[in-house]
Amino acid sequence: MLDLIRPIHAFAIACIALALGVAAGLALGDLDNQFRESGIVTYTSAALLALTAATSLRIGRLRRDGAGLSWRDPRIVWVAIGLGFIWLALDDLAQIHENLDRLLHRLAGIEETSLTDRLDDVIILAYGFIGAGVMWVCRSELRRFPQMLGWLGIGAALLVLQVALDMLLNDEAWVLFTGFSTARPDLAHDLGEIAEESVKLLAEAAFLSGFIRVRQGLAA
Give the model confidence (pLDDT) of 21-43 as tens digits. Answer: 877 777 766 666 666 666 788 88
Provide the pLDDT for residue 168.
73
Percent of the chain whose predicted confidence (pLDDT) is above 90: 17
| Mean pLDDT calculated for residue range 84-113 | 71
Q: Which of 115, 11, 80, 95 is nearest to 46 (CA)?
A: 95
Q: How far is CA 149 from CA 48, 107, 203, 208, 214, in A?
A: 18, 40, 14, 12, 10
- Give residue-wise pLDDT tens across range 167-192: 777 665 555 555 555 555 566 667 77
Torsion of Cα atoms, 79 then 82 then 88 then 92, to 10° = -130
Select the more confidently predicted residue: 41 or 112.
41
**What is the domain range of residue 176?**
2-219
Residue 140: CB atoms within 10 Å: 9
Residue 126: CB atoms within 10 Å: 11
- Report the range of poorest mean pLDDT among 32-46, 79-93, 149-163, 173-187: 173-187
pLDDT over 70 (residue 69): no
Buried b (16+ CB within 10 A) or exposed e, 65-95: eeeeeeeeebbbbbbbbbebbbebbebbbeb
Q: For residue 205, name the pLDDT band (cuts at 50, 70, 90).
A: very high
| Mean pLDDT calculated for residue range 48-61 | 92
pLDDT over 70 (residue 145): yes
Provide the pLDDT for residue 41.
84
- Domain count for the chain: 1
Select the more confidently predicted residue: 100 or 15.
15
Q: Which of 37, 122, 52 is nearest to 84 (CA)?
A: 52
Provide the pLDDT for residue 162.
84
Torsion of Cα atoms, 77 then 83 then 84 then 85, to 10° = 110
Select the more confidently predicted residue: 2 or 105.
2
